[in-house]
Amino acid sequence: MEYQAPERDAQFLLFELFKVQDMWPEIPAFADFSQDLVEAVVSEGGRLASEVIAPTNEVGDQEGCVWEAGEVTTPEAFKGAFAELAQGGWLGLAGNPEYGGQGMPKMLACLVEEMLWAANTSLYLYGTLTVGASLCIDAHGTPEQKSTYLPRMYAGEWCGAMALTEAHAGSDLGIMRTRAEPAADGAYRITGTKIFITGGEHDLAENIIHLVLAKLPDAPGGTRGISLFIVPKFLVNEDGSLGERNSFASGSIEHKMGIRGSATSVMNYDGAIGYLLGEENQGLAAMFTMMNYERLSVGLQGLGAGELAYQQSVSYARDRLQGRSPTGAQNPDGPADSLLVHPDVRRMLMSQRAMTEAGRAFGLFVGMQLDFAKYKGDEVAQARSEVLTPIAKAFLSDSGFDGAVLAQQVFGGHGYIQEWGVEQIVRDVRIAQIYEGTNGIQAFDLIGRKVLRDGGDTLKRLLDEMSQSEVAGDLRGDMDAALDRLMRVTDSLVERTKDDANLPGAVSVDYLNLTGLSIYAWLWARMAAVAGDDDFGKAKRTTAQYFFERLLPRTEGLEKSIMAGTDALMGLDDSQF
């Protein structure tokens, strides 16, 4: 599928909306990143995505992965594209410079990630797990572990994988069974079976570094007894060369609805040698370093898919001649007008566009919090990033899926046919709502751990700050109403949860959607305020207006739904289902 990286929008967000040219010079680690350099990174990332990676997208879906005797062969076209991605240093873009990373801001990485996801979700999955695993090793590893693994992972010579899930326990990690036995050599022996291991086995890199959650023999029960281990496919000799093959292997790969170029393995660890990463029994917290990264990244996956789908549907609508405009023929010499004249087609395109552009701004906003937390030690930003991460994962992936379904609808019957490509986007993006913690889990994390735990304070302070920022005058009233609604609903939840333990879970998804739409209202009101008077800026303001008129009203129904009790929801006996 053809894909054009949204470079102009990236520039708008960086330099007009968030004004990183004023922000970054005050952060020592970013002081050297000139506007020219940043634009070059975005532009080169866009070129890689559209010219090198995007052409492998459809063929990867058709070819899929092949498992044979524990070895996985990825689609042929993936080899060269992944090598170019790796050799360009893109997997170390935001990595630790001490170990060969480029130390770039997360905001910039967000933009590049979106492009790589859009170009080929299956292919970039091998990349994002590598980036996430290296982030985790950087945060929790010993200096020796860092110097052993990070340079090779930043270079994409070794890939990463994350092994959490077991067959009997999807999101419930406390009942995990994989064991880690301490051995005389100071390492551990890992035994157990994990499922759904993306990139657990493949042929794109010479080594695969698994981060595996397991329980020590004397570990406390539940999630407090989980430790994290580095389990490399090939053991690493002292000189950094590859040694023996570790004793674990892929037992099979899954046949999936989509992301067919991404190999999802059942992994059997059979006394595999593993090295403790971080502290004993603190594995879940350590793994969350990776998971939080992956959650934002999966949100960006949804965003990238949404952008790709939008581009396909615009291009189809432009080329396809069918019917006449309700206001009279616009292409009187042709047999019909283009689909673009039809208001319902406009609705589908504008809805995609409004969600995608706001989503891109939102992803960068979350990236900004992460940058502030990491490079300025900003605790408020850290707390905000924790509130915003589940929203980014779920709201961006839901919007990406909804957008892809809309794009498919624009194609009519062709949208259902494989050769047109858009149905692949729907199949591929669907997983983003499920893995890395289902979107239901994200919503529960938001409401339970992130909002109710501090009585809504962190969120409300953020909303307060948003309401005080400079926004487009004509959108001010509706934006304030949206932020007020979210505050009101949040207060009500804090109160009502005291008497109803079922309430948070009952309304969590509606609440997450309400939060996402309300924040988008702020982002659109801000973007409309800073957009210029050129064509690009005018389109921004028109899209902002569309968002307020046609999408933001959903919040009214969401509020009402959240204000309902849980009696009906919980009312059926198990036998009545």
Cβ density class 34-60: b for 16+ within 10 Å, e for less: eeeebeebbeebbebbbebbbbbbbeb
Of 21 and 409, nearer to its own copies (C-beta) is 409
Site for its own copies in 141-180 (CB under 8 A): 165, 168-172, 175
Question: Of the listed 379, 436, 549, 559, which one is catalytic?
Answer: 436
Q: Which of 23, 139, 434, 481 binds its own copies (CB under 8 A)?
A: 434
Site for its own copies in 388-417 (CB under 8 A): 405, 408-409, 412-417
Shortest distance (Å) from residue 334 CB to its own copies: 10
Q: Which of 26, 319, 344, 474 binds its own copies (CB under 8 A)?
A: 344
Q: For 186, left (φ over 0), alpha (ψ -120 to 50), or beta?
A: left
Of 74 and 408, nearer to its own copies (C-beta) is 408
Assigned token pair, 344: 């319902």
Of 76 and 474, nearer to its own copies (C-beta) is 474
Beta bridge partners of 211: 162, 230
- Cα 394 from Cα 299, distance rounded (Å): 7
Site for its own copies in 25-54 (CB under 8 A): none
Beta strand 234-236 pairing with 242-245: antiparallel
Size of the site for its own copies (CB under 8 A): 103
Shortest distance (Å) from residue 167 CB to its own copies: 10
DSSP state for residue 246 in the 8-state scheme: P
Verify binding: residue 514, its own copies, rule CB under 8 A: no
Beta strand 207-214 pairing with 158-163: parallel
Site for its own copies in 260-299 (CB under 8 A): none
Alpha-carbon Rg for the chain, nearest whole angstrom, is 24
* List of E strands, 21-92: 66-68, 71-73
Verify binding: residue 319, its own copies, rule CB under 8 A: no
Shortest distance (Å) from residue 523 CB to its own copies: 17
- Output the CA–CA distances (angstroms, integers) from residue 85 to 46, 429, 544, in the order listed: 12, 21, 35
Q: Which of 194, 233, 256, 485 binds its own copies (CB under 8 A)?
A: 256
Q: Under a CB-based contact definition with an 8 Å cutoff, are residues 489 and 510 in contact?
A: no
**Of 561, 562, 469, 559, whose CA–CA distance to 523 is shortest?**
469
Verify binding: residue 258, its own copies, rule CB under 8 A: yes
Please provide the size of the chain in residues: 577
x/- site string to its own copies, residues 76 to 105, per CB under 8 A?
------------------------------
DSSP state for residue 550 in the 8-state scheme: I
Verify binding: residue 379, its own copies, rule CB under 8 A: no
Kindly report the backbone phi and psi dihedral angles of residue 265, in degrees, each rounded to the nearest multiple of 5, phi listed first: -105, 150
Beta bridge partners of 228: 213
Verify binding: residue 453, its own copies, rule CB under 8 A: no
Q: Under a CB-based contact definition with an 8 Å cutoff, are residues 181 and 188 in contact?
A: yes
Shortest distance (Å) from residue 340 CB to its own copies: 5
Verify binding: residue 431, its own copies, rule CB under 8 A: yes
Region binding its own copies by CB under 8 A among candidate stretches 20-28, 380-388, 480-488, 502-510: 502-510
x/- site string to its own copies, residues 527 to 546, per CB under 8 A?
--------x--xx--xx-xx
> Which residues are part of the catalytic machinery?
436
